[in-house]
């Protein structure tokens, strides 16, 4: 009988899956270098693995994330440059977080030319709670300003220096909110683009050292 998928089970199964996947040689992966294709392959394989044992709502392009009921998105990236993209919703994501948690698989791909197979060695599996998914430099800068008795003008100047993609009205609203409610420091690097570019080197480094950043493998 299938059980309902929870955050704890998701992390436990991600560890099992990571260990298992790291030992599988697959013909379909041989000589594949397209990171997007590898990411799609691993995401589908993990969801199919979970589907045999658990009840959960699968994500799609309309919902935008892989596990909408749990508010978790899965990211697959190479250790060579651990990063991926995600939809841009508003500049607020850079300050307050993406609005959902991340399950990140970081792999190293190895090809066996004798067998003509490819192996994805999962080096890191990390769960980042949504409270830690904002941009590190932006949130740490804001915290320094507020801790140093900064005011609204200081925050607005900082937004301008950081080239935050936001209009004047929204910038003022965000500044007012920050002066009332403290924020968590995020640990992603989020680059401005038509889509956010998320970089994960810091969460790999800080996993299990910071609350909300959990090393699974």
| Domains held by the chain: number | 2
The pLDDT of residue 60 = 65
Residue 149 lies in a domain: yes
Residue 14 lies in a domain: yes
Considering the domain architecture, whether residues 141 and 127 belong to the same structural domain is answered as no
The pLDDT of residue 1 = 74
Considering the domain architecture, whether residues 27 and 107 belong to the same structural domain is answered as yes
Considering the domain architecture, whether residues 8 and 105 belong to the same structural domain is answered as yes
Considering the domain architecture, whether residues 122 and 39 belong to the same structural domain is answered as yes
Three-state DSSP class for residue 165:
coil
Q: What mean pLDDT comes out for the span 203-209?
A: 96
Considering the domain architecture, whether residues 26 and 55 belong to the same structural domain is answered as yes
Residue 47 lies in a domain: yes
Q: What mean pLDDT comes out for the span 50-55?
A: 94
Task: Give the count of alpha carbons within 13 A of 141, CB side only.
Answer: 17
Q: Which two tokens stand for residue 182?
A: 């403290």
Considering the domain architecture, whether residues 167 and 68 belong to the same structural domain is answered as no
Query: pLDDT tens-digit profile of 144-198?
Result: 999 999 999 999 999 999 999 999 999 999 999 999 998 999 999 999 876 899 9
pTM confidence score: 0.93
DSSP annotation of 76 reads E
Residue 60 lies in a domain: yes
Domain with 125 in it: 3-81+99-133+191-215
Which of these, 190, 32, 211, 17, lies nearest to 127 by C-alpha position? 211
Considering the domain architecture, whether residues 72 and 160 belong to the same structural domain is answered as no
Considering the domain architecture, whether residues 200 and 110 belong to the same structural domain is answered as yes
Q: Which residues contact 181 (CB under 8 A, 6 or more apart)?
A: none
Considering the domain architecture, whether residues 54 and 40 belong to the same structural domain is answered as yes
Residue 91 lies in a domain: no
Considering the domain architecture, whether residues 11 and 25 belong to the same structural domain is answered as yes
Given a cut of 90, is residue 88 above it in pLDDT? no
Three-state DSSP class for residue 78:
strand
Please provide residue 53's backbone torsions phi and psi, each rounded to the nearest 5 degrees.
-120, -20
Q: CA of 113: how far to CAs of 28, 32, 79, 118, 154, in Å?
A: 13, 12, 21, 9, 58
Residue 172 lies in a domain: yes
Residue 104 lies in a domain: yes
CATH number of the domain to which 67 belongs: 3.40.210.20
User: Which pLDDT band holds residue 118 (cuts at 50, 70, 90)?
Assistant: very high
Candidate from 29-33, 51-55, 98-102, 126-130 with smallest mean pLDDT = 29-33
The pLDDT of residue 142 = 98
The pLDDT of residue 8 = 96
Query: pLDDT tens-digit profile of 1-22?
Result: 789 999 999 999 999 999 999 9
% of the chain with per-residue pLDDT over 90: 85
The pLDDT of residue 2 = 82
The pLDDT of residue 193 = 74
Residue 94 lies in a domain: no
Considering the domain architecture, whether residues 12 and 119 belong to the same structural domain is answered as yes
Q: CA of 67: how far to CAs of 55, 73, 118, 196, in Å?
A: 11, 6, 27, 19
């Amino acid at each position: 009988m299938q059980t309902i998928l929870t955050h704890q089970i998701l992390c436990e199964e991600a560890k099992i899956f990571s260990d298992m996947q790291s030992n599988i040689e697959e013909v379909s992966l041989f000589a594949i270098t397209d990171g997007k294709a590898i990411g799609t392959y691993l995401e589908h394989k993990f969801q199919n693995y979970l589907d045999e044992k658990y009840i959960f709502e699968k994500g799609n392009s309309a919902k935008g994330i892989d596990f909408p009921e749990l508010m978790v998105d899965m990211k697959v990236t190479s250790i060579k440059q651990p990063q991926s993209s995600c939809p841009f919703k508003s500049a607020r994501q850079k300050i307050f977080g993406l609005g959902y948690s991340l399950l990140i698989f970081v792999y190293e791909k190895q090809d066996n030319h004798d067998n003509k197979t490819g192996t994805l060695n999962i080096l890191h599996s990390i769960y980042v709670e949504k409270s830690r998914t904002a941009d590190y430099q932006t949130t740490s800068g804001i915290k320094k300003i507020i801790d140093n008795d900064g005011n609204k003008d200081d925050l607005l100047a900082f937004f301008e220096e950081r080239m935050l993609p936001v209009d004047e009205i929204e910038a003022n609203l965000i500044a007012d909110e920050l002066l009332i409610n403290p924020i968590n420091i995020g640990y992603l690097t989020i680059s401005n683009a038509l889509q956010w570019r998320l970089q994960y080197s810091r969460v790999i480094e800080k996993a299990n050292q910071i609350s909300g950043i959990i090393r699974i493998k």
